[in-house]
Chain A
Amino acid sequence: MEVSEEPAEDEMAQARNLRLSREAIFTYAAYPLLLLGALLVLPLPFSYLGIFHYSTVMPDVLVISGISVMFFGAFYDFGAKGYVMELIDNHFRITEIDMNHIYKQQVKLMGIYIGLGLLYVVCGVIIFAF
């Protein structure tokens, strides 16, 4: 037996949820950004020591990493399965609307990851051009 009526949501709760969900998106987006930063910075000392040519090696590395990030974004579920399992374990009712919300969030993140992947590629191109 389910509770038929969900309690009317006050604006506070909505705002809070929006904030939480934004935070989560930023956190997910932060990982590839941090990785990009690390990729750009970490090899610098080695290239400075003359171990390899930054401008010839890095574009390839960045393009490959960028594509990997895009693929990752396209195939990873961002923890959706675990979340749904958790709901099921706790006897939640999961409706079409919930599923759509989950898909929507996934698509958003996928878009962000593809965008970030492109950013990698752009960085690669810039380094190549200079």
Chain B
Amino acid sequence: MAAELIQKKSSAQKGTETILEVKDFSVKFKTFRGELNALDRINLELKNGEILGIIGESGSGKSTLALSLMGMIPENGKVEGRVRLFGKTVAATDISGEALLKMKRKKAKILSEKLRNIRWKDVSMVFQGSMNAFNPVYTIYKQIAEVYRIHTDYDEERIRKKVTETVKRAGLNPVILNSFPHELSGGMKQRAVIAMALALNPSLVIADEPTTGLDVVTQARIITELKNIVIKRVNSMMIISHDIGVVAQLATRVVVLYSGWIMESGSIEDIYLRPSNPYTKASLESYPSIASEKIFMKGIPGTPPDPINPPPGCRFAPRCFFAREICSREEPPFAQVEPGHFSKCHFAAEVISSGGRGKVEVKDEQFGSGVSADDKVLIVENLSKFYDLRTSLAGRLFSRASQRRIVRAVDHVSLDIRTSEILGIVGESGSGKTTFGRTAIALIPSSGGDVKLKVGTNELSKSVSESDGHAIGITVGNEEYMDVTALRRGQRNYKLLRKKTQIIFQDPYDSLDPKMTVFDVIREPIIAHRTTRDPEQVLMMVRDTLASVKLTPPENFLYRYPHELSGGERQRVAAARALVLRPEVLVADEPISMLDVSLRAGFMNLLLELRNRFGVTIIYITHDIASARYVSDRIVVLYLGIAVEMGSSEDIVRYPHHPYTRALIDAVPNPTPNWNPRELKIVGDIGNAVNVPKGCRFYERCVYAQDMCRVTPPPVQTDGAHWYLCHFTQEQLAGITPRSG
């Protein structure tokens, strides 16, 4: 409904008045390595009433563009062309970036006065990551009031009234005004930031990655909030995001940026249903969606170009599936393909006629299956991990008497992981995903419960002491297992565990030692486990592993340092290090969340392929249920340390049973134009795992909750392989009138 309103509203005003005009606009930054072309001859128009979505991956120039509209180009930037906003020039060669340094004092002062008047009043911006930019020592009130103090001559009384009004309209309780930023959740802070941007009723609001870093439920709420704002409060908006699903929900017109170029622009339907640029098309095809059938995503090969030395001709040519000889020679023109639909490609007409989302046949071997339910590699029983924040010195010093400080990060989780399966672990931040992954392979000690890892017969070392070997080895059925939780560091079998289980961390920038070459990084485990000493063989192993993670030819990578690699390549190196000893269980903790969008599909395919080729079992931890569905065979949903639902990934996505899973699925954005999130049936934000309710842990957020849920822990409801934790069956839940979220 909201989308229709937006449509109606925008069509009513369409074509009235151009409020933003960007003409042949370029920004070049001076850097140590040379000149960096952040924006290259951009042309753009925004009419009154339009909601412009800007899509692009990291480094494509989105933020630079947004800052330019605010007249805030950094001083190492060289500007060509100009940007006019409401008929006033806010950025041009002689008034922006470098030029400011040379400008006379007086002129600079007049200019900054002029820009200041435009900012906030005519146009305001929600900066990328600004919810973390609140000053921690001032209350929210003080920080919002500041906007009025600087830009208006209201008295205190009036400011107070205005501020209260503003936060109310942003859907916040005015009580929060007296809070300090750290007291608010991410979602509340983001609302406060949006409230601030709306404070002076600007005509245009620019939101740079407004939902990045928020949980999917919060994200859905913020998007709804932004929609309401468009309907009720402002005329035009610009939404900048790397997430095509987020943009799909808000924009009426879309611009696709790649490496400082506008690759394509057009109405939202043009872009999403009839893409005429190979980059747009490939991006759409690499976005995991849960609304449609599971289809194989090709991903985009290669990496985004070096912004200092972009390739000649078309900047996308080295990665383009459509590229022909002319592409690496001649820059494509930015030409109209249909009325209002432009594309920068030599073959735009051909691309558009090649149809929408390419149907790629799903081959079973691409996703792999043939996992046997009886063959369990890891048996987890009642695994718990509690943290006492009072164990640290500062914790003991600063904890207040009346506060519990035990975090139940993982609370009695039981599940079996099958040999060669990919198990997705899904949950919001704070649900205990990472802790589960780490305790399951005893990277951190557990507080209770058992984990058993399958081992070959006679693989366990009993030589240290007979009793030690005996205590560790357990027979379940006909199989030998090792009791992971009973292992102590230093025992010989501990090394076996480390060899059989490996982990890939979230951040490829942190997890590799910058002083080691790729070869050293991958060789490290071989040396640590004394697998071989023969240098020839070590080199062979390293090269084979590099090849298996698609870093080919391996010679090109062996002696490079992490900083010489792109994010995607680094994550592949991290995977190679984890795989070099052929582990049986691999924990991948949010492996794609720090990668550029265009690289994600590629890495997910790599995980699938590794499983299919080497039979490695993968525990895939993620907050993104769509990507979990793409790679995993089964999914388990965690909520505040508890597994609330588990089933095959198709079942979880298509027929979610637990009220929490349902809300999670409803909140996932879908990359189709004018898509509306379903009404979210969930209350509040994820709390903490400290003062947990006695009964169902989801009680406070559940819209179906009944009295019994508060005190009695729910039983498992199951129909075979798919189970969830709730007092009610699906039929019973359907009979309960949900309270409003």
Contacts and interface: CB of A to CB of B under 8 A. Distances in A.
A2 B701 CA distance: 10
Nearest to A20: B396
Contacts of B400: 17, 97-98, 101
A1 B700 contact: yes
Chain A contact residues: helix, strand, loop or mixed? helix
B393 interface: yes
B687 interface: yes
B733 interface: no
Contact of B401 (A14, A28, A92): A14
B397 A92 contact: no
Contacts of B387: 90
A35 B401 CA distance: 31
Contact of A21 (B183, B397, B404, B688): B397
B430 A79 contact: no
Contacts of B393: 24, 27-28, 79
Contacts of A21: 396-397, 399
B32 interface: no
A105 B396 CA distance: 11
B183 A94 contact: yes
Interface string A26-41: 0110000000000000
Interface stretch (B510-518, B553-561, B678-686): B678-686
Contacts of B403: 6, 98
Interface stretch (B190-198, B331-339, B453-461, B689-697): B689-697
Contacts of A84: 182
Given A3-B693, A9-B402, A20-B399, A92 B688 contact: yes
For chain B, the bracket of interface size reads 35 or more
Interface residues of A, number: 39
Contacts of B687: 1-3, 91
B538 interface: no
B389 A79 contact: no
B409 to A, nearest CB: 8
A23 interface: yes
Contacts of B700: 1, 3
Given A1-B700, A28-B393, A101-B400, A91 B182 contact: no
Interface string B391-416: 01111111111111001000000000
A21 B562 CA distance: 44
Nearest to A99: B180
Given A6-B403, A24-B397, A101-B398, A93 B183 contact: yes
A90 B689 contact: yes
A107 interface: no
Interface string A56-93: 00000000000000000000001110111011101111
A79 B691 CA distance: 24
B390 interface: yes
Nearest to A98: B400
Nearest to A11: B401
B406 to A, nearest CB: 10
A101 B398 CA distance: 7
Contacts of B407: 90
Contacts of B683: 1
Interface string B314-335: 0000000000000000000000
B401 A102 contact: no
A126 interface: no
Query: Among B389, B400, B689, which residue has the most Cβ atoms of chain A within 10 A?
Result: B400
Interface in B359-401: 387, 389-390, 392-401
A13 B185 CA distance: 29
Interface in B671-724: 683-693, 700-701
A18 interface: yes
Contacts of A3: 687, 691-693, 700
Given A17-B399, A25-B397, A83-B398, 16 more contacts: A1-B685, A3-B691, A3-B692, A6-B404, A9-B402, A18-B401, A20-B390, A21-B396, A24-B393, A28-B393, A79-B393, A79-B398, A80-B398, A83-B397, A87-B389, A90-B389
9 contacts: A3-B691, A9-B402, A79-B394, A83-B389, A84-B182, A90-B688, A91-B185, A91-B688, A94-B182
Interface of B: 180, 182-183, 185, 387, 389-390, 392-404, 407, 430, 683-693, 700-701
